[in-house]
């Protein structure tokens, strides 16, 4: 997770055969960005007390050792997320028939010092690759320890600023959402865009991606505003400009997004005459229940993958997974597949950045050379009963 919204994703599924079958193929595919949710939104009712640092654990008996670094003893939502991700990692190991993998599970306590120590422990025990950490602030510390050994890190942060040489992000990046939804809007004839974004780190990432992709697609931005605690002023400015826009980008989550819609309506905006577009943060029951947002479009992984995964997880553990649990599952499935098919080059840069990508629970994904990722996302429509797919996720990456 990152320092942005720390959007944690939600639950989805794929059949075990589909997910693992594609993972086994040697070029694998990619797909899945978008569905993001804050930890507090996702885990509101489950608030464990901070736990003692968890004892290191090894799962599996394979020859290829893989470090898994998670904030298992962190308080509150972070610890809940970490435990769910640990469960998902162990589930992947169990479902991936006889993998030659041993998971070295390490607790980083949710902080950089712990992340560096946990990574060093895993490396000392022979880890050939590190999965994790979860939080952006911990990734550079883990990466420093791993680089000293020439070992790559596949982290779960949503903050692309911590990606880099040998540090790959297996997460849901806002940039992917924006590229998909603006690209889709352009493909159905939208040319003039307005945007009203939160004045925070997440909003800044969305802003940069929005301006870049709009320019690339030949669109134009007719109005752009950011808001802090006061939404009314920026909403009035946008409302006054909507007559010359045919799409309006909003990028906030749940309650906040509903409040933005209310501010726009209160400023006189007719939200039915423009196409509302958004990011994976829209994948939230509060959004589906908001009348003003009905018909809005957003980019997210195809929900069928998470639904299937969540069903198997519930059967195994008796509770729902956190949305980011699929990242840990896919990380383990990926390294297991590469260990099986790629020999001594299994975790090389060339293998990890295969342009064909990989197929995971949430669809296609591939790592870029700069450590960020690209995901194959679906386009979903907001409806009162929940999201409805209007454009499926791609089955392969273009050139």
Say whether 88 sits in a helix, a strand or coil.
helix
- Give the model's pLDDT for residue 394: 87
- Give the model's pLDDT for residue 274: 97
CA distances from 1 to 5, 43, 142, 162, 189 (A): 9, 15, 14, 11, 34
Contact 381, 297 (CB under 8 A): yes
- Give the model's pLDDT for residue 98: 78
Task: Spell out the alpha helix ranges (H) of 59-111.
Answer: 76-95
pLDDT along the chain (399 residues), means of 10: 36 31 33 27 33 70 96 96 97 91 97 97 98 97 97 96 96 95 96 97 96 95 97 97 97 94 96 97 94 97 94 98 96 96 95 95 95 96 93 82
The CA distance from 118 to 138, in Å, is: 11
Domains and CATH numbers, the chain: 55-172+302-367 (3.40.50.2300), 174-300 (3.40.50.2300)
Contact 300, 387 (CB under 8 A): yes
pTM for this one?
0.83
Strand order from edge to edge, sheet including 373-375: 358-360, 363-367, 373-375
- Give the model's pLDDT for residue 326: 97
Token pair 């006061």 is found at 230
- Give the model's pLDDT for residue 31: 27
């Amino acid at each position: 997770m990152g320092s942005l919204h720390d959007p944690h994703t939600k639950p989805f599924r794929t059949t075990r055969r589909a997910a693992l079958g594609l993972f086994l193929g040697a070029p694998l595919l990619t797909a899945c960005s978008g569905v993001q949710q804050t930890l507090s939104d996702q885990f509101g009712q489950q608030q464990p007390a901070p736990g003692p640092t968890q004892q290191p654990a090894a799962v599996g008996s394979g020859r290829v050792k893989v470090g898994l670094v998670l904030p298992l003893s962190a308080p509150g939502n972070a610890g809940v997320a970490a435990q769910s991700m640990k469960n998902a990692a162990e589930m992947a190991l169990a479902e991936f028939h006889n993998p030659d993998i041993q998971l070295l599970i390490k607790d980083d306590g949710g902080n950089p010092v712990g992340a560096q120590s946990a990574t060093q422990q895993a490396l000392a025990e022979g880890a050939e690759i590190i999965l994790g950490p979860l939080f952006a602030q911990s990734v550079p510390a883990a990466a420093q320890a791993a680089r000293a050994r020439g070992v790559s890190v596949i982290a779960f942060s949503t903050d692309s600023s911590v990606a880099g040489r040998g540090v790959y992000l297996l997460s849901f990046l806002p940039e992917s959402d924006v590229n998909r939804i603006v690209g889709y809007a352009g493909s159905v004839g939208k040319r003039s865009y307005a945007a009203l974004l939160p004045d925070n780190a997440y909003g800044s990432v969305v802003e940069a991606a929005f301006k870049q992709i709009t320019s690339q697609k030949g669109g134009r931005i007719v109005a752009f505003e950011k808001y802090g605690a006061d939404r009314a002023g920026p909403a009035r400015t946008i409302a006054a400009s909507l007559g010359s826009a045919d799409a309006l980008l909003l990028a906030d989550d749940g309650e906040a997004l509903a409040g933005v819609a209310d501010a726009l309506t209160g400023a006189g905006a007719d939200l039915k005459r423009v196409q509302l577009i958004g990011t994976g943060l829209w994948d939230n029951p509060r959004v589906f229940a908001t009348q003003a947002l009905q018909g809005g479009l957003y980019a997210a992984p195809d929900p069928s993958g998470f639904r299937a995964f969540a069903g198997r997880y519930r059967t195994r553990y008796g509770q729902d997974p956190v949305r980011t649990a699929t990242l840990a599952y896919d990380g383990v499935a990926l390294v297991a597949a590469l260990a099986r098919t790629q020999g001594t080059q299994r975790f090389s840069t060339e293998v990890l950045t295969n342009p064909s990508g990989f197929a995971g629970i949430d669809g296609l994904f591939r790592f870029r050379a700069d450590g960020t990722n690209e995901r194959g996302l679906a386009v979903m429509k907001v409806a009162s009963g929940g999201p409805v797919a209007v454009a499926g996720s791609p089955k392969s990456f273009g050139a």
